[in-house]
Structures are given as structure tokens and as C-alpha cells.
Amino acid sequence: MSFGYRVRHRLDTGLGRTGTIDTPHGTIETPAFIAVGTKATVKAVLPEAVRELGAQAVLANAYHLYLQPGTDIVDAAGGLSRFMNWPGPTFSDSGGFQVMSLGVGFKKVLAMEADRVSNDQVIAEGKQRMAHVDDDGVTFTSHLDGSKHRFTPEVSMRVQHELGADIMFAFDELTTLLNTRQYQEESLERTRLWAERCLRAHGQLTEQRTDKPYQALFGVLQGAQYEDLRRRAARDLATMSIDGQQFDGFGIGGALEKESLGRIVGWVCEELPEDKPRHLLGISEPEDLFAAIANGADTFDCVNPSRVARNAAIYTADGRYNVNTAANRRAFTALEEGCDCYTCTHYTRAYLHHLFKAREMLSSTLATIHNERFTVRLVDDIRHAMPGGDFDALRTEFLGRFHRGRHSGQSSVTGSQAHDSSPAGSPDR
């Protein structure tokens, strides 16, 4: 087995730490931001450029690759890493998020501001639903062609073994903040039983596929905003052992309100063993990264930096702006002054403005390279600041400047926000 994690340095206060994850395809220095390549490609960017911008690993999605091209094809190609020509470590998520997103309807998928919307605005009823959850698994309708499919913990494990990513996630039920407390409890119990089935299936598949590199399995913690449920989920999964098989790490999932994100990560990390890595699913905003790292999370993924890049939204240390606006038409300066990325060292805002206006494909490539580099570099800077005791100073300085910039001068942004999910028509993360 060639998977492992070790802590290298702990923050003096709180639960934050730096560390190293070893995988069969290389090591990941943590904290680290993982680039998202949903369909076995970081959209619009060559793998060589993904490597050059500093990404240490790529996360692909089981739901999408199961539907297209089919995970048997990825398996026959020699696994995700070889199929997509990414020689480094890979993650696959379980498909649960996308499948469950189909279930909650066509409107806003996950309402992060629970007080402003009612339940029926979020959760579609009856035949509107494209997915139905029962105790055994989820039946869903493909967003591509309307065909019917069924995911169970066993199917998710088989699909993820065929993908061959170094790190996989257990199949879990996703809830929204609007589900009742009683539903959250029932769902958490269902997720616990599914976690046991995932471990069992994972053990069997690992035995059957002895010619393949070891794949690590992370259990996924749900429990929404409830401290007792979150802690219970963490304790359950941390001690779970099926036929001698335990989780190699943990994913922190589910709906998280921005203001409680750090607190929730802290609750679960207090319960989790120190010697296993923790991945927080689906975040990339600077304040969220600082809060999560301070409270013990190690790795992160999110489609947001690349998704908004394709809508001309550019991250900088002074906040986000839209390069599409008229102010950038004759701006012959870099997207971000001082940025070391390929885009900023070779092109101007005026050129990007032109590419977006002309709807040229290169606009997506160049903007994505910058936004991914921005996010990867921020987490790298945090990792480098931690051993010297400079984490708090960096947090104060970075977020102060980022938010000052956001509230002055920098124009507004189109595209999705960090916690928005996509419409059910394209369950993309």
C-alpha cells in the first residue's frame, strides 16, 4: 500500500496543520487546493499548463464519467491519470453530489441563505424530481439523454475503482440546510450505513484488483449545521472498520453557511484522528480557505475559479473584477500586477477584454490559468506561512486587502458564487 499522511507542523493555536499526503502517483504538500477536472479535463487548459500553474492534483467526477464515456473505458485506458495525461495524484468524488442535486429540483439547488427562501423554492416535489433517494441508493435520470440509472454505495465504489483515482470518496446523501432536523438525522443514519457498505465493497474490489495501484477511500461527513450530528458523524466514520478496512481520510461535505464554515470544520476535526487527511469539498473563496485551514482542513476543491474565469471574472489580491467591462478596453497591463502566471507574464487586460468580446476560445484558457494560479498560490502561501508562525498575520493582511478591493474600485462579477450549485440540467461541480 502506498498511501499515507503525516503531519509536518501544527499551528500554535487551533487545529491547523501542514502535512504530506503520499499517493501512488506522487505526494501532495498540504494544505493544497486541488484543481477540478470534472470530465477528466480542467476545462480549456492543457495538463502541462495545470502542472505549470502549480496544481498538485486533479479531482474528477464519477457521475459525469460514468455517463460519458463510461468508467469501463477509463479503466481500459489504464485509469484516470493515464487517460487524461495527468501524471500526478488524482481524486474522484463519489457522484453523490451531482445525483442528489438532480433530486432537489430545477431551481436553486442548494440554498445557502436558508432564511430568504422557502423549502418549496428549493426542493422540487414528485415527478419534477430527477432523482429519488431510498435506503438502498438513488435512482436518477441522466441530464444528457433522460435515461434511467441507479447509484448505490456498491455501484459508486465499482465506478470509482474503474476510474482508478488515488483518492476516492464514499457515497453519501447530501442534504440542504432546509431539510428538517428529523430528515437530517435519518439522512445521517443512511449515510452511515452507506459508508459501511462502501468500506465493504472497497475491500472486495481492492482484493480483486491486485494488479492496480492502491486507491485510498475517504468517508464523507454530513450533519448540516448541527454540532451534535457533525460530531457524531465524525466519531462514527473515524472508528468504522469493516473486515479490517478503515477510511484512509475524510471528506467534509454538505451545505455549509459561510459564517459557520470554520466552526463546523473545527467540530469535526476535533473528533477526527490526527494522522489522516481531511478534504473540504467545494470551497475556494479566500476567507473560506483561511477559516477551513485554521480549523484543520488539509485539501480543497471547487469549480468556482475556472467557472467564473469563463465568464471573464478575474481574481486578484484586491478582489474580483470583470475584464469584460469597458474600463479594460485599453488597459495594457497584466490581469493582476505582479502575478507570476503564464497569462499575466504574456498578455494584457486589453487582450483578454478583446478575446471575451470576440468570444474567442483562448479567453477561457488564459482566464482559467490565472484564476487557478491565484487560488493554488494563495493556499501555497498559507502553507509556507504556517511553520514560521505567520498564519494569522497573512490572514489579516490578505483578507483586509481582498475585501477593501472588493468594496472599492473593482467591478461586479457575473457567474456563479462559491456556494452556488449549478442547475439540475448540468450537475457540474
Q: Which is nearer to Zn ion, 99 or 341 (CB)?
A: 341
370 forms part of the interface with Zn ion (CB under 5 A): yes
232 forms part of the interface with Zn ion (CB under 5 A): no
Q: Which is nearer to Zn ion, 291 or 344 (CB)?
A: 344
Single out the residue of 50, 170, 344, 379 in contact with Zn ion (rule: CB under 5 A): 344
Single out the residue of 163, 272, 308, 341 in contact with Zn ion (rule: CB under 5 A): 341
Rounded least distance, CB 69 to Zn ion, Å: 33
Stretch that binds Zn ion, among 40-48, 84-92, 342-350, 409-417 (CB under 5 A): 342-350
Q: Can 172 be counted among the known catalytic residues? A: no
Stretch that binds Zn ion, among 155-163, 272-280, 339-347, 397-405 (CB under 5 A): 339-347
Rounded least distance, CB 375 to Zn ion, Å: 11
As a whole number of angstroms, the distance between CA 160 and CA 149 comes to 16
Q: Can 340 be counted among the known catalytic residues? A: no
Q: Which is nearer to Zn ion, 75 or 372 (CB)?
A: 372
Catalytic residue among 75, 288, 301, 428: 301
Catalytic residue among 75, 93, 248, 298: 93
339 forms part of the interface with Zn ion (CB under 5 A): yes
Q: Which is nearer to Zn ion, 269 or 341 (CB)?
A: 341
378 forms part of the interface with Zn ion (CB under 5 A): no
Rounded least distance, CB 53 to Zn ion, Å: 9
Q: Are 38 and 66 in contact (CB under 8 A)?
A: no
Q: Count interface residues toward Zn ion (CB under 5 A).
A: 4
User: What is the amino acid identity at position 212?
Assistant: K
Stretch that binds Zn ion, among 126-134, 146-154, 167-175, 331-339 (CB under 5 A): 331-339
15 forms part of the interface with Zn ion (CB under 5 A): no
Stretch that binds Zn ion, among 30-38, 128-136, 304-312, 337-345 (CB under 5 A): 337-345
| Catalytic positions, written as ranges | 93, 301
Positions that interact with Zn ion (CB under 5 A): 339, 341, 344, 370
